Amino acid sequence: MSGPVFRFAPSPTGRLHRGHAFSALTAWRACKAARGEFRLRIEDIDQIRCRPEFEAGVIEDLAWLGLTWDGPVLRQSGRGAAYQAALDRLAEQGLAYRCFRTRREVAEAMTRAPHGQETVFFGERLPERDERSRLETGEAFAWRLDARAAAGRTGALDFLETGSGPAGETGRQAVLPGSAGDIVLARRDIGVAYHLAVVVDDAFQGVTTVVRGCDLFGATHVQRLLQALLGLSAPTYHHHRLLVGEDGKRYAKRDRAETLQALRERGVTPARLIAELDLD
């Protein structure tokens, strides 16, 4: 039997900051403690937001932190055929449908829902004739998962959480299959969306343990469902706390958190940063 496989899967939409360093080092240390293999995956499906210089930055920053990985770097931008095959499989099972609603229409449908402000969206497949005529006029659409049909197909599912979710969830977690609604499987602009790409690639890379921030705990419910529908094995999950700055707010690219590059340029050493991160 082969050993455990861990991964770090950043999206190169900016330079890495302390929050990324915390996440990457948490995963890498867990991997080393388990004598596992470590994979690096560049989640660059969104070719508008992702840039080659940010990918180069990821490699540079990880090397600076002293992190190493096994095997080649996997780039999601080169994995379109695998995502398409997974999408076809879901569509053939009647579990994916074309959704022609715009972002605004989806938001409006959510406010009109019976309980007022819904946070998730459930749509529906259009009647065939209607769908055909929209396709003929070249109207854009996204592929969505029919979450209710999917839940009926798999029966009860669970996943093992060895870290904790945002509300302290730990241990065996029952999957809430409709918790995210009819998620987008393939975006109209880039042909695939986050959840589908992640489950296909975690399986492809043989990942046995997913270590990531607890902001992605909710995503695990959807991802576990997709794994079951696609016949993929389920990794164990370890969600870690999110690193917060002195202001109590989590580090984020959009808040212009100080980058590892900037830290390095002002003379901070990896050892000092690692000590400061106070890894669990």
Candidates 4, 5, 10, 237: give the one binding ligand GLU (CB under 6 A).
10
Count of alpha carbons within 13 angstroms of residue 40, beta-carbon side: 19
Pairing, β 209-213 against β 236-240: parallel
CB of 43 to ligand GLU, least distance (A): 4
Instruction: Specify the DSSP class assigned to residue 244.
Output: B
**Nearest residue to 222 via CA among 174, 184, 179:** 179
Q: What radius of gyration do the chain's Cα atoms show?
A: 20
Candidates 4, 5, 6, 9: give the one binding ligand GLU (CB under 6 A).
9
CB of 27 to ligand GLU, least distance (A): 9
Binding part of the chain for ligand GLU, among 6-14, 62-70, 100-108, 163-171 by CB under 6 A, reads 6-14
Q: With binding defined as CB under 6 A, does residue 212 bind ligand GLU? A: yes
Binding part of the chain for ligand GLU, among 5-13, 84-92, 114-122, 272-280 by CB under 6 A, reads 5-13
CB of 111 to ligand GLU, least distance (A): 28
**Nearest residue to 195 via CA among 165, 233, 214, 221:** 221
Q: With binding defined as CB under 6 A, does residue 259 bind ligand GLU? A: no
Cα–Cα distance, 199 to 220 (Å, whole number): 10
Per-residue x/- marks for ligand GLU, 145-174, CB under 6 A? ------------------------------
**CA dihedral sign, ordered 114, 115, 119, 122:** negative
The residues binding ligand GLU (CB under 6 A) are: 9-11, 43, 198, 212, 216
